[in-house]
Structure 1
């Protein structure tokens, strides 16, 4: 099992050791947390194409000592020509998963990198050139890299789908799923990164790279056009803030599910659980997640069109009422929650000056829309799948709209003076999985690595009372959950479906500690 890593000055957590190493070297050269995260994110886009990519979306949460935190909404909107009409005529009940019509939203990840680096240059003493930050990613794309274990598992799970997409040429070995360590390369993506390193990240949307992308999209039959790319900008936003007895926690505003994550944490502390592995803790978190998910399904959308301001749900009065309404004696049904165990990439970093950066990125589903743009080597998000086609439902597919996102990127200042950046992947239940990590470590004092490795439970995707549990969960706790009416489905120990999380903390005197989830390929490295 992984252990908690201690370091004197700075630390980074990333989805793979190659990404963490890229970020660590930036820190070693005097780079700040933003620069380290961009370097790690670029490598992740190359070596983890099932999790994230340049043509995906993101959410940043930035904090520096003595200043208000900042969120960067790095998500995109649907193209101007996108409508639900064609999908309805074809008898679809959801937007398509794969192919040209699934390529319907502008990706925001690269614009998010650009905005974060602008913040870093102005306020975080950023000094490293973009070419240096993309150097490792370019090398990995062009020279190749061994396939990580998690990618190999994802390819095996999706082999049937991948075989009939352009991704087969990139990810399959003569039509079959390769073993971990199989050499992978994407020279076209390397050339795209080289072009961005030379021309700047804005080129992705409004320059030569953008023109190459537009040509690929037209050939693919995507409704996106060059004007959609050219109009895109990331947005600096005020984070949502939750104050509890144990911490002040910041997270991203809608359309991300930072609101849902804060609702779960706010209710969890109000339930006053008695122990990390107690029934009241497990049942309370499950019920809080179901209650918050109901709010998500009714209200979370493009913030320009939300009927209720998100801070309404985070007032003390509303959280008190929400926690009091939870049934502590019986399981109550809630929305089904798609697992998405490894469908995204989270990176967290605290640098030597105590500046904290968290970044969550995604292609929405593994490998996104199942396309590989030939000129640029890009995989594209299928985030439009988060929309509905039924015009009577929330989040109907319309042009120029942001879809709801499962991204969160929490940063917390703990009561003991430490800073904590934490996050991960876990699909619709990610807010509860993050709350489970937070309560184990902060409320119950568990070591970070122990908190991450502990057996997990989470609401499931099949029925409104389903709870997935790892088969090493205490049998007495499992029996108690069943007695309350939860319908348990047992999963193997350390299953991907239970999410991949990580965390870094910094003590007031400057020392740092971090750990990663044993369920994934993540790595933590420090100076």
Structure 2
């Protein structure tokens, strides 16, 4: 890394250091669940599943058993890096004809018709079977305990839960079990989830088949049939996650890894390739010149995202071209002074969780779990505590678009765990959550680390910005003079009064010291979480 610069936000907390293992995520109880598994002798992959399952309990608006998962892992014993795509597919009955014949011009943003097969439970099973050392019963124990005995609602969880009140009130089942007298539970409330505890116990006892073929599948099928949904038990039974080869690029002297499409990790790599053509350090951190360049690079990469990214089994995606340095140089050459007009494409909202785990054997897990929007589709399966996600809403009904809805197809996906290698070995495992913000946040964090020399905590603390189709949002710590200069150049600056600190995503990261093998952890102050090591 470069020498530390001056002029960026003072760190909110110290870097966490540890030698035996580390977990970084958005909720302390989930981080502790992972640490407990490591201390009991489990490895990073066991701990990652335990952390993810705990997050399903303590952040139910962000993730759950009814969602999807992506992971990048380094298996130290095999010296192997690979990706896991545990995103689910469209039901057999889901076709553009069905939606058009029922009067839809697009797939609903939420509700029962936005549901696709949940892939996360199978993803956990694949991770444990391939790389873990413990059983479902062992790694799900902390999550079951939190669900049965309850957990106190922290500040940010309370904030997001309250945002979901209108969605939850649409469903008698959801409002009865996830609201208190029609309101979200307040900060400090002890909240229990007996239905979710039952579901977790089913999986602990019977494995992934409990979800895809057993009583949970029966309950999902029954609810979908009774409420005119499209998902059926046959769709669940057919689901399998897929191990994939990560895609990558070299930025400066570092190799950055992402999951290939149907995820949007490609965008991170394209943006880095474009930015590599410029001396960012000379521009200065969060200078007007740097922010302008970043926004224009983002527009170019996101235009390709909206043009190409879909399920690679159904679409021909020119990855070699899109990832080439020559193409990036061409794009960089089109960035001129002023504001470049590029079709805005999809503007994606959404919320999710990220976690990363390392252990003393050198294993690394970079994992994203999600039900997409806050509480997903809003559909709660009775007696299970399972909200089904709304990833189907990201399909297009345009038959000429690569992401057009087709039975058995995976939708375009926002979740993107990240990993950085140095000399072929894991150096950084990290993620920045927040739908459209995820690639923007990952690139800003990497530039903070690589170009501006920040440590793993400062890189997430530093003020961020986010480009929307209608303007740019800058966190308040970015200097007024820079805001004025961007306005002068033609950018519309957005004033998002509600939740200013939260539109720029939530970051978590672990740095693995290449000289000592020791761990350094950082966790975003914009979330409730922390990095914990031992």
Smaller-chain TM-score range? over 0.9
Helix, strand or coil for the counterpart of 2:140? helix
Deviations 1:114-163 (A, max 9, x none): 1111221xxxxx32222110001111112211223222111222222221
1:107-506, aligned counterparts within 5 Å?
Answer: 107-120=118-131, 126-165=132-171, 166-273=173-280, 274=282, 275-335=284-344, 338=347, 340=349, 343-414=351-422, 419-461=427-469, 463=470, 466-491=471-496, 495-506=501-512
Give how far 1:411 is off: 0.7
TM-score, normalised to structure 1's length?
0.93
Give how far 1:305 is off: 2.2
Deviations 1:19-59 (A, max 9, x none): 00000111112211111110000011111111111110110
Task: Say if 1:364 and 1:382, in contact at 8 Å, map to a contact too.
Answer: yes
* Rounded Cα–Cα distance in structure 2 between residues aligned with 1:199 and 1:449: 40
Deviations 1:275-325 (A, max 9, x none): 222233212221111111101111100111222332321122222222222
Q: Which structure 1 segments of 5+ residues have no match?
A: 121-125
The residue that corresponds to 1:29 in the other structure is 40
Give how far 1:333 is off: 3.9
Helix, strand or coil for the counterpart of 2:415? coil
Task: Say if 1:350 and 1:357, in contact at 8 Å, map to a contact too.
Answer: yes
User: Which segment drifts farther, 110-119 or 324-333?
Assistant: 324-333
* Rounded Cα–Cα distance in structure 1 between residues aligned with 2:157 and 2:324: 41
Would you say how many aligned residue pairs link Structure 1 and Structure 2? Answer: 517
Deviations 1:453-489 (A, max 9, x none): 222111125x2xx111112211122122222221111
Helix, strand or coil for the counterpart of 1:167? helix
Task: Say if 1:76 and 1:106, in contact at 8 Å, map to a contact too.
Answer: yes
User: Which segment drifts farther, 378-387 or 303-312?
Assistant: 303-312
* Rounded Cα–Cα distance in structure 2 between residues aligned with 1:494 and 1:29: 40
* Rounded Cα–Cα distance in structure 2 between residues aligned with 1:208 and 1:167: 20
Deviations 1:179-224 (A, max 9, x none): 2122222211111111111111232112343233322332333211
Task: Say if 2:267 and 2:302, in contact at 8 Å, map to a contact too.
Answer: yes
Q: Which structure 2 segments of 5+ residues have no match?
A: 1-11
Cα separation, partners in 2 of 1:136 and 1:517, compared to 1, 3 Å: same
Cα separation, partners in 2 of 1:207 and 1:176, compared to 1, 3 Å: closer
The residue that corresponds to 1:123 in the other structure is none
Structure 1 vs Structure 2 CA RMSD: 2.0
* Rounded Cα–Cα distance in structure 2 between residues aligned with 1:349 and 1:299: 32
Deviations 1:387-444 (A, max 9, x none): 1223344422221111100011111113697610010212113111111011111221
Cα separation, partners in 2 of 1:494 and 1:8, compared to 1, 3 Å: farther
Cα separation, partners in 2 of 1:457 and 1:331, compared to 1, 3 Å: farther
TM-score, normalised to structure 2's length?
0.92
**Do structure 1's residue 102 and structure 2's residue 114 form an aligned pair?**
yes
Helix, strand or coil for the counterpart of 1:285? helix
* Rounded Cα–Cα distance in structure 2 between residues aligned with 1:27 and 1:189: 24
The residue that corresponds to 1:18 in the other structure is 29
The residue that corresponds to 1:6 in the other structure is 17
* Rounded Cα–Cα distance in structure 2 between residues aligned with 1:202 and 1:62: 24
* Rounded Cα–Cα distance in structure 1 between residues aligned with 2:334 and 2:20: 44
**Do structure 1's residue 55 and structure 2's residue 66 form an aligned pair?**
yes
